[in-house]
Copies of this chain bind each other. A is one copy, B any other.
Amino acid sequence: MTTRFDVLTIGNAIVDIIANSDDAFLAKEGIIKGAMNLIDADRAEHLYSVMGPAIEASGGSAGNTAAGVASFGGKAAYFGKVSDDHLGTVFTHDIRAIGTYFETKPLAGTPPTARSMIFVTPDGERSMNTYLGSCVELTSADIEEDVVADSQITYFEGYLWDVEAAKDAIRLASKLAHKHGRKFAMSLSDSFCVDRFRDEFLELMRSGTVDIVFANDDELKSLYQTSSFDDAIKAIREDCALSIITKGEKGCVVVTREETHNINAHPIDKLVDTTGAGDLFAAGFLYGLTHGHDLKSCARIASMAAAEVIQHIGPRPQVSLKDMLASEGV
């Protein structure tokens, strides 16, 4: 099956502002560790004023996934809403420069392009503080049918559920994808996000709006409100044709109606910054799926991509994942 794109991703177009901090700082500022904390413009200003020296890097969960697919040499496309400001220019440059198709019309004027202030603690965990800015203006009008039709898999981040108009856009995209015989996938994004939208996420799966789900163990347990990982796996096997559950350094589990595969995490030298781990995992898996790999190989490719991104600061690969895959021979 030859399509113009292997993977289309849809998400909040965000530039990350990344600094180190300690746990006391998170506590003092009331930042939930490891989570995506939504903030308004005033809090964004405050947090920047107390933030240490930072670096800026294009991010956004689904944007990172598209960049990852492109880094593998896959054909990637992206929908997301920036504004026509400096950060919008940076985001647009970076995602196109890695070879991703990105033509979503930028917003003229305010709100400005979204930014997430990310604090990385000494344990490598990242705590995000996201001001959604222009992302809230992503609507059904931004769903380019020809691109959805010509993408083997369309994938979106659960974070989009924080943007009311985006829900219709995603449902439209799913309808279009299925109309053209394509698959539709999502990430559960964040356990607090799951908590906000549990029923809707379950409905997306049970209605067949979504065919493939990516989640980590916390998100999965939140989805089914259980502390039992096994019970949650049993439940998602019923609800979704294919789900991939990551467990950090403990590897991942690939679940279909008939099969369960446990795959080890890719070894790393040193954990530096977990930002982008799940996004790059999804990138590797989706690249594998759209390039004829079996599920176990997909999971290994996914783990390799996640291992790359957590060994440096920043949410996108710093080396060619295509070269890495060739040299590591997963």
User: Could you list which residues of chain A lie within 8 angstroms of chain B, going by C-beta atoms?
Assistant: 19-20, 48, 51-58, 67, 85-87, 90, 93-95, 97-98, 312-314, 316, 318-319
Contact = CB atoms under 8 A, between A and B. Distances in A.
B313 A48 contact: no
A97 B119 CA distance: 14
Contacts of A86: 85-87
Nearest to A58: B53
Contacts of A319: 20
User: What is the oligomeric copy number?
Assistant: 2
B55 A314 contact: yes
- Looking at chain A's contact residues, is the secondary structure mostly helix, strand, loop, or mixed? mixed
Nearest to A100: B53
B93 A48 contact: yes
Given A48-B93, A318-B20, A53 B313 contact: no
A289 B319 CA distance: 39
Name the residue in A53, A54, A313, A318 with the highest tally of chain B Cβ atoms < 10 Å from its Cβ: A53
Name the residue in A48, A56, A97, A314 with the highest tally of chain B Cβ atoms < 10 Å from its Cβ: A56
Contacts of A87: 86
